Amino acid sequence: MKSYLAAAIQMTSKPDLGKNLIEAEELIELAVRRGAELIGLPENFAFLGKETDKLAKAAEIADRTSKFLKTMAQRFQITILGGGFPIPVTDNSNKAYNTALLIDPSGVEVARYQKVHLFDVNVPDGNTYRESSTVMAGQDLPPIYHSEELGNIGVSICYDVRFPELYRYLSSKGADIIFIPAAFTAYTGKDHWQVLLQARAIENTCYIIAPAQTGNHYERRFTNGHAAIVDPWGTILADAGEEPGIAIAEINPDRLQQIRQQMPSLKHRVFA
């Protein structure tokens, strides 16, 4: 594993696939120009609209987005995460998997994760979310991509961040870096987003790359922003704020090793 720059992209995606992919490409190019070799896009980066509309367009979103990610990876010679987009369930026309794909610079899919924890929550601001109405929960534990250059990369999606056992599993499999792409609600995000990212980084002594959605997407759908990169000590290395853009920071294997030696908590675990 070498030292390199990673980027967490922040978007205000809308219910418009074409425009979202254009914006994503512009931000990817910006990150590449700044030297990023590992780039993450947020949850719902290709389409953020009503669940019923997303489901109706799921086949088109899945096809165009998968091709887009492979094209971006090859064109810019990067490893890129598409942080969550719908892929229809083969035997259920009423559901799609919320799927994250990790693509290497040759355009090959190296990891696929179907979101396990679905956001069915009555938020105190009056909004109600029922992700399970159109999304099929994944059944498999998240994958780890083992890269000699970039390190061991784990994948999760948004609401997963509230379930530490998932991240403990990833760390037990050797994760050095974990993606947490999100479309975190504005109401919950203001209190919970940063502290949850830091907790997952600290307790697993790993880097967290957290691409995010921000702003108003449609009607009353507002997201928190603050795409971030967090180091294994819990330090926020980069924060994208509240506007579309990127958070970019160094992933440093020496820093990772230093913290794991100074705070060897993973070796001190009593209960598996």
DSSP string, 101-156: EEE-TTS-EEEEEE--S--EEE-TTS-EEEGGGTBPPP-SPPPEEEETTTEEEEE-
Q: Decide if 29 is catalytic.
A: no
Determine contact, residues 134/96, Cβ cutoff 8 Å: yes
Residue of 54, 57, 70, 115 marked catalytic: 115
Residue of 43, 54, 57, 206 marked catalytic: 43
What single letter denotes the amino acid at residue 7? Answer: A
Phi, psi of 115 (to 5 degrees): -50, 130
Q: Decide if 203 is catalytic.
A: no
Residue of 23, 37, 54, 158 marked catalytic: 158
Determine contact, residues 245/10, Cβ cutoff 8 Å: yes
d(Cα 78, Cα 68) in Å, to the nearest integer? 13
Residues 164, 170, 174, 177, CA torsion sign = negative
DSSP H stretches of helix in the chain: 17-33, 51-56, 58-76, 164-172, 186-204, 253-262
What single letter denotes the amino acid at residue 189? Answer: G
Q: Decide if 267 is catalytic.
A: no
**Residues designated as active site:** 43, 115, 158
